[in-house]
A and B are shown apart, each in its own frame.
Chain A
Amino acid sequence: EAQVTQNPRYLITVTGKKLTVTCSQNMNHEYMSWYRQDPGLGLRQIYYSMNVEVTDKGDVPEGYKVSRKEKRNFPLILESPSPNQISLYFCASSTYSDRGLDGYTFGSGTRLTVV
């Protein structure tokens, strides 16, 4: 089944303790992206990647890191989580061309709590 898999679904951590949220897709998509969703703010892009070893900042990259060493994986790293990073996080992937994105698929989400 074609899908984007995020883990974990729920994550509770303490301020300052490094964590990684994993994202993997099995559709051979070039384009992958991370978003955070907060009430009243919609989905804001954190980072995106157009291919292996190519990553770019989205609208809210501060406090986050990503890597794209393999085509299928795009982990999101929080080096020092803080309470303002409490949110619902989504990973997404897609093919792309000069016509735009095609087959944009979201993962099931990761709800992060920082205490």
Chain B
Amino acid sequence: GENVEQHPSTLSVQEGDSAVIKCTYSDSASNYFPWYKQELGKRPQLIIDIRSNVGEKKDQRIAVTLNKTAKHFSLHITETQPEDSAVYFCAALGPSLKLSFGAGTTVTVRA
């Protein structure tokens, strides 16, 4: 089955700096890669996703890149703000429609 690894597990950045989270996946047939943000005590919420026919996608301060050859994808947050502090999860959807998640990255933005 699909195995998703996420790094780093914790990330502390100064407000205004960029944050990068990286994920690798094992199943080359996976074709959909969403990212979720989970604030303390709340449910995960989709912030951006990318499909296998695209290499990069951007939405304001958030961007995701996908390298299918290397089987890795990354989340980039620019100009970080205190409200970006949360746990972020990457995920990969395999051909059987099983969605597998990484273990999560706790991002702390220092004021």
Binding site for B on A (CB under 8 A): 31, 33, 35, 40-45, 48, 50, 56, 58-59, 90, 96, 99-101, 104, 106-109
Contacts and interface: CB of A to CB of B under 8 A. Distances in A.
A101 B34 CA distance: 9
A45 B43 contact: no
B111 interface: no
Given A42-B6, A42-B89, A104-B34, A33 B43 contact: no
Nearest to A30: B97
Contacts of A41: 103
Given A43-B44, A43-B89, A106-B45, A56 B96 contact: yes
Candidate in A33, A59, A100 with the most chain B CB atoms within 10 angstroms: A100
Interface of B: 1, 6, 9, 31-32, 34, 42-46, 49, 51, 89, 91, 93, 96-104
Main secondary structure of the interface of A (DSSP, over half): strand
Given A50-B97, A96-B97, A109-B43, A42 B51 contact: no
Most chain B beta carbons < 10 A, residue from A35, A59, A96, A108: A59
Contacts of A108: 42-43
Contacts of B42: 108
A40 B9 CA distance: 8
Contacts of A100: 31-32, 49, 51, 93
9 A-B pairs with the lowest CB-CB distances in the bound complex, closest first: A100-B32, A42-B103, A43-B101, A106-B43, A42-B101, A42-B104, A106-B44, A100-B93, A108-B43
Contacts of A104: 34, 46, 99
